Chains A and B, each alone.
Chain A
Amino acid sequence: MTKSLKKYFLVFTGPTLIAFLIAFIVPFFMGLYLSLTKFTTLTNAKWVGFDNYQTALTGNTGFVKALGFTALVSAISIITVNLGAFVLAYLLTRKLRGTNLFRSVFFMPNLIGGIVLGYTWQVMLNAILRHWGQTIVNDWRLGMAGLILLINWQLMGYMMIIYIAGLQNVPPELIEASQIDGAGKWMTLRHVTIPMVMPSITICLFLTLANTFKMYDQNLALTNGAPLKQTQMAALNIVDLMYKQVGKQGIAQAQAVIFFIIVSVIAVLQLRATRAKEVEA
């Protein structure tokens, strides 16, 4: 069978591969090359070696600061989103009335796009902050708090769904057995339930991290980096440099490569670290 299927390579994979080449593979290698050049279009690139990388890391493009801010927002959000999502999932897998309705409500923000979410929160937070004569862009700490609130509101329901799926896969016999052995609710949670849902924890930590690290739309809509780029996350920093400052595209491209390497390394490390903690029933 595989033999006759083999001849159909172009029919089965051709269209996808052509699109993949156009949208990812070719741009990926061009991007690597462009990061080593000075360019304003694809055709006028001039080789400059690693100059762009040096400028990206030591110059005044604000990239390093944006990375730091991204890391801070991500670190806080990963903890709050996942704690909140796990508690919600834990409560919503009890036998309560209306759990389906609650799940729907908590999940809904995920369907709304980052731009719409960002402006919705901007308008509401500004209305609240007006009582103190403030706006979301007066102080970077307000902007950061706003971003973290928005991220929690958006992602908690998504992670909750994944934790619910994980919790429902824990065999009830296991919980019963531990309670017969005299373990209280807390002991059961810590020594039975949590180890059993470790795969969900792995994937949720990964998704929260990937989502907050690559966040662009929400950041653009909520604060657009104001005041003075202090709430600018890495993705926004790169896009701004690429399209708003003529002649700095090479540096922006180098920043994108650095950003990509950081995202990949974190993803690999994090998946490895939490995979090691997973157990089998």
Chain B
Amino acid sequence: MQPSKPARRKQTAGQNLLTALLTVLSLIWIIPLLFILINSFKGKFFISDSPFSLPTGETFAGLSNYITGLQLSGFARALGWSLFITVGSVAVIVLLTAMTAYYITRVKTWWTSLIYYLFAFSMIAPFQLVMFPTVKIADALGLATPWGMIILYLGFGGGLSVFLFAGFIKSVPMDIEEAAYMDGCTPLQSYFRVVMPLLKPTSVTVAVLNAMWVWNDFLLPNLVIGQDERYKTVPIVIQMLVGSNGNRDMGAQMAMLVLAIIPIVVFYAFGQKYIVEGVAAGAVKG
């Protein structure tokens, strides 16, 4: 018994109608995903014949599309590299851009504000502008590896994160840091013990926005490490498998699309609150 739970408010007829409308709309919204899921269980020759029917005895293919797809594509390894690059980049971005933002907000000189404006400027630039030189430089410096990708993501995507952190740090009074300093903390100690815990809400926002971007990014990893058979990421595998002309195994392709979507849905189910809040906070502050 939970007596404190408030009684559910009675809905009016108009509200019921709206709820019904929104229910229909949200069902329409998930049709593309259902479509892929249903067809991933059909034999490859049945997909184009009756794309919208549920698989039945004859058309049901069990997991054979998934098995074929996994054998064809190296999907499992791509999943591993995608995870590695995403987790690594997000960790590095959150840790380092917060420190950078802290420094350029607290130390006011002409060159710290120049750095700030350069970061803001980098947020507008389309990737195509720096694409060719960035890829060549990465190659020359030996950054054409998953580890190198983390450095490139920090450099190319760090602007937004510095911007978000700086916006928050400006609103934090300096008193606590001053107090920590008076008590004999070095700047590093006072940053890690006092400032960093205060930045937690913004860190979540920054982590969510960067995780969504890095996980899904296609062009940068494709140009930098995509030619290397060892280092493909999930979007690259999908592009190679589905985007190739000629012999299209529709079943295997749809199974791989489903596998590419599942980690995101799981991630979303667990972190929903933070993801939605992070997106809203990121937009308002940016």
Residues of A that sit less than 8 Å from B by CB: 1-2, 4-9, 11-13, 15-28, 30-31, 34, 41-42, 91-92, 94-98, 101-116, 119-121, 123-124, 127, 130, 153, 158, 161-162, 164-165, 199-200, 203-204, 207, 210, 214, 216-217, 220-221, 224, 235, 238-239, 242-243, 249, 252-253, 256-257, 259-260, 263-264, 267
Contacts and interface: CB of A to CB of B under 8 A. Distances in A.
Contacts of B234: 113
A113 B29 contact: no
12 contacts: A13-B99, A19-B152, A20-B159, A22-B152, A24-B155, A26-B137, A27-B130, A30-B133, A30-B137, A112-B264, A115-B235, A123-B35
7 tightest CB-CB pairs across the interface, nearest first?
Answer: A23-B155, A113-B216, A19-B155, A127-B51, A27-B133, A12-B103, A27-B130
Contacts, number: 287
Interface string B1-28: 0000000110100010011001100100
B249 interface: no
Contacts of A21: 155
Contacts of B177: 1
Chain B contact-residue range equals 35 or more
A203 B19 contact: no
Given A96-B15, A221-B243, A116 B132 contact: no
A22 B261 contact: no
A125 B286 CA distance: 35
Contacts of B191: 12
A13 to B, nearest CB: 5
B216 A114 contact: yes
A203 B283 contact: yes
B155 A111 contact: no
Contact of A116 (B130, B156, B235): B235
Contacts of B254: 123
B286 to A, nearest CB: 7
Contacts of B257: 116, 119-120, 123
Contact of B280 (A18, A111, A164): A164
B66 to A, nearest CB: 16
A256 B8 CA distance: 56
B70 interface: no
Nearest to A216: B219
Contact of A20 (B31, B122, B136, B143): B122
A129 B264 CA distance: 29
A27 B261 contact: no
Contacts of A103: 276
A5 B11 contact: no
Contact of B217 (A113, A120, A257): A113
Contact of A263 (B124, B138, B216, B286): B124
Given A1-B181, A111-B268, A17 B156 contact: no
A29 to B, nearest CB: 9
Interface string B251-282: 00110010011001101100010011001100
* Main SS class of interface, B: helix
Contacts of A19: 96, 151-152, 154-155, 158
Contact of A23 (B52, B134, B217, B264): B134
A13 B111 CA distance: 12
A231 to B, nearest CB: 15
Nearest to A130: B48
Given A110-B212, A120-B33, A102 B126 contact: no
A12 B155 contact: no
Contacts of B188: 8, 11
A96 to B, nearest CB: 5
B218 A112 contact: no
Given A96-B22, A112-B264, A263 B132 contact: no
Contact of B284 (A23, A116, A120, A203): A203
Contact of A242 (B131, B162, B187, B260): B131
A161 B279 contact: yes
A147 B248 CA distance: 22
B129 A257 contact: yes
Interface in B148-182: 151-156, 158-159, 162, 174, 177-178, 181
B119 interface: yes
B84 to A, nearest CB: 17
B247 interface: no
Given A113-B217, A259-B126, A203 B286 contact: yes
A136 B128 CA distance: 26
A239 B131 contact: yes
B113 interface: no
A120 B18 CA distance: 29
B215 interface: yes
Interface string B135-151: 01110010100000001
